[in-house]
Structure 1
């Protein structure tokens, strides 16, 4: 059994998304038993070790077999640490360790110190203490260690002569070097004495101690960030700011947490301004402000001089209030169900936490669990039990979790008797795992940037093979589309490597297409086969021939989507024509033929099939393909396709226009190719005169010259379809037969047009008679007579008006100087009076119901006429007086000029 198999013991990930730990309020109360002691047990016999190993090995084998059935690879991989000195972990258990960017330090219960590089290359190993080393520290240049024998050793990592030891007379639990140790030679210690001591050298080179805090229980944890010293004791988590020499924060430990001195805290610093502290079963995430500009100016000075420990009390910060205080903010506090013996930062806002469960009885000791906890909500997202060796009689303080990043993160799980390196399962590891499990799909998915093209292609091919063995042809075809992408862009310059890949892909498609076709799985192949002329045309022919038999709807879609160059379209055309049965028209076959003819640029062949389908856009199709002149005689039938149930003979002209206007526009656009004479004859003979009406009417507005010889036809069409256009056409054109038009107007009783035509041939009195007798329009009659300026016509008009009060009314109201030469309103009234006195019936031609109204209107007209005459007379008199007055003034002016004397100078 491999080391990794024995280490990876049991996964406990919750299938419902992980456990959710309790989020604790940030205001925690202290609840520590101050009378505890640190329990360290170091004696283990070899027999127990061996029996424990055998038990663990058997357990690992059974668990490993269950894990082999898992679909997902493990999250972490493990390997045992074997690079430490031979006696470590076995005869000399590890009691402390510390991991830094460049160097690691390990210490044992016998007082041995081992320094090595981050790759475990040894630097040196030596005995530094007489008893267990409880604390170690490295800053990259110097190391420090503190022992249960009360001694502290500090030295250079690389210079073995640069080393010094101090004796504090009490067990040292914690030691850290000042952030600027290389200059100040200062360090901080804490232990069973309960004192946090800041030690430095005075100006004579002797060590002086300044007690930062004391009398609050043993110091069980200590770290330093910038110029902040953080330690843990019975009060909780204490934060001391060196620059102003004061405790700036105390975080009390919750009352329900375990004993302070029994379970020592662990901490990690994932970011320069963040500290994570795990203590008992609680985790604190703290945000710490970085060094201020004022603090940086103090760096060259020792914040606590050699004499200050004797002169200044702990409240000496009063004289340094000008230094800005650091800020400590609590981001999160989580409570776990288990005790914590290690914590480190993981990726994706996760923490790696090493947890410990004390034994329930003296004989059964538990391996620690490794958990990944979401730092945002405290949920456990991954959990598994480790399989460390010789865990009997080991307590929480005998386990450590170290962290180091070089190329990839490495996590070191260290116990007194075993060491394990844990790493996230990398993508190469995952690939090999999937290949071992014959999960070729996953192997293909993650291998894109890991292996070369051919290797990755082989994974995909093996996956396709497995699908076919399981009769999963549809899945196999869909995956082939992903596995064998075809680049159909022609203008891209390809490298030699790209050309080789393309050739291999085409070769694979050729092979797999034949496999699908020969296995009668054309359906699965159809939707994934790429369109490229690099594949054999026979493949595409076989697919189309298959669908001609199976499903012509799918056939139609394929012919629509596929480029016509990739298959033998002549062969497919003949097959379709042979299959087509006009008795049972298959629209899909007809459409397929149309598509083929369109793509092969044979639109004339497509027209027949468009007509079979009753396609109402057939004329537009012919126009767009410039072939309409080939189907002139079929135009009436093509037009009828736009209507159902003889609608062309029943719909209104306006609705017909909406439907036919696009077609008429086409005829107009082709007027030089399909002559108007052809259009008019073909639709006249087909009894579709409405087409000619729309055509000639639009042609007239486009090019009036073209309708010059069709004016008689236009007049007939206007009479049939739109009489409102006739009059304007008659007065604006002259190339039509007047006699025939007069007869047409007489037959249809188009009097307005007839009056105009009679006027053209000099039949003015006949025309006037129509206005009076047929139209009964006095105003029109008056304007007509006024325009003719003919006395005979005026005489006839006045004679006929005598018996019509509405005509008399117009004559009286419209009389003016221009009409006086033809009639005098007074004379007309006199004649009217004579007729009345003769007792003749004046209104015989007027409806009796209108008589009274007409007489009233006539009376009013006479009054208005009279008023106008009197007004004209008055105006003329006023004007005459003005002329007289102006003449008199001019006469007097000139008279005075004449009578005025002239002064003459005397020359004598």
Structure 2
């Protein structure tokens, strides 16, 4: 149906052919706006007389609302006929937008907006209400009772009373705005927030508005409506005199020289699809405001794929003061012909594919389109169309692949070549890959294609043959190298692929090595693997040092100094190698000293202590240059320069505790004198020396050497502490000595009692022992013995006297004997042998010669560790038992000094 409002206030209802169906005398002044509900059962109108009237088209129901000011716009709730609330919105010159709805006690008006000038237009779709005033366009969500957005009025547009804004809903989420010379399309998205339990909350929603299309025209917009994915615009064309002025500010006020209005179909980016000039009676005298555009059906456009079903075509009504012009789309084949005529081949193709016209048109349109693009040398566009035109025809695809190859444009077609449904012959894919490989600008495309295409659809060998001649040329790019490596993998040539992966520093190369067992191939790629991931490369080299010896790794890293931080890589490798096998890289320990000093100084001292394969002088120079003091002390100690080492500890480190420990380890009385001497001129050092020498030196001796008048900080407190510590130590020593003596006596008594017990021997044992004794004695010593005498002798031979082993003596034996009187006192009672064993790194105990001879040989320096010392003790005691023919003599070990620890 068509509704027309007149200047006299009458509303006429017509059918689509222009026949009058009904007539309502609704108002006493001009009708300004009309609105149907979505079912077409009610029509609302508003007028300059300030009234809003809603009439039923199928009964006598009529409602009238007075607002006392001219009303310019009205919109019924789309569900007006279904809902009892009977809602509508209306506005006018008063500037108020009224939201009217029915309640228990009658109708109620709610002002949705006011204060920004007259309401010029209002449209309602679903729950969304859009209206325009002098400021711009606003949108309100009736379902959530919230305003969504504001779209500003276009700058420079004519005043609304001169040229009205036009609003139309394309669908439930797109609002089209035509105002002056501006067109905007707003997209409204509604997002329902999740509740706490994860479900969607139906009570509220969040709306987001985006302007998805916006453009300006060179004509006034007298009306606008949706046309599928495009827009129908009723254009008012200005005259020549208007073109000389700023069009956006011009007001069409001509009389008798206006041009025909035009219906234009445009896209959202203002591409013109169609233009028709309308034969409107009296158009010469009309202004832009005198025209309007409406469209049907009520539910909006039924456009689907470019073609409407019969009877469902949208109808457009161009209304002028004297005429109503009905417009509808041409038929499908006319539309396709028009598209081809205007060069819209793609849209023509889309129309044919959507079923608009005979199916025979598909091949014709597609062929014309593709040929047109080839002639125009738009190869990329033609290639993009091939999936639409060739679809599942393998023969057609192969024909066009070779045609593009002849034109030397095959690279642009490669992304669109199918790998299945249909699958082409191997040759087609190989030709395509070779075309990419021969052009450096497409090497990245080659790489992505090789990775994405299944390897079973082509043979890699022809492509490899085309790439290998480019090696070591300027056209060999990194992308081509990686593509070649991928092809080598496809072809099973893993060693060659590894070489390229290493040069390209590919992250997954270590997994690749393990997967394909390529440990033999890593020999020539040390630097690359270290640059890629030194944490994984170092263990790999060490685990495979039988395949790639340390000398090879070090040599390659030294050669690569300009490519990377090779010294740091050397440090990491040699450090890990030393931890695994301290002797594997002994040839590089001199280098390693410097590397530790540069990259990990805290590990240098443990390395110096553990290694015997570096030059002391060179290591010392390195430590001096880098001011590594504790390392200097250690090296000086090994070199025998103990006084210089002590000077470093005292004068540079100022560490008295470490100095005392160092002197104690040297077992040199002269060094104690040197320590005291170096401390005497430093009062603070004298105090620290007093604190740390308890148990090593007599504090009274140090005090006596202090120069008269030297002020020592906190001397009283330190003396008190020394005396207290000395008394405590003396008490502990006496207590420990008493305990030790008591334990030894108890054990010896227990042993003596056990030794007095007799032993039973069988005849076999008696005969064997007698035979051994006979062999050990001369014939003159062999005499007859009674059983009791034999028994006593056997008993004595079976259990000899015990051996008392005193370990860890630090003093000469003659000085140690008085301190262990309990041994010398008790030994005769048990017929025991006392053995003194001491351990030093030089002297008579170990055949290293004199102190000077021992210190000159780096291999003899250092103390025995616990395991070495105990082993040596055991060997000595076994030697004694063997020498004195006492294999069954028990050994009682007493620890003294460090031997006891």
Shared fold per TM-score greater than 0.5:
no
TM-score under structure 2 length normalisation: 0.43
Identify the structure with bigger relative contact order (alpha carbons < 8 Å, sequence gap 6+). 1
For the pair shown, which has the larger CA radius of gyration, 1 or 2? 1
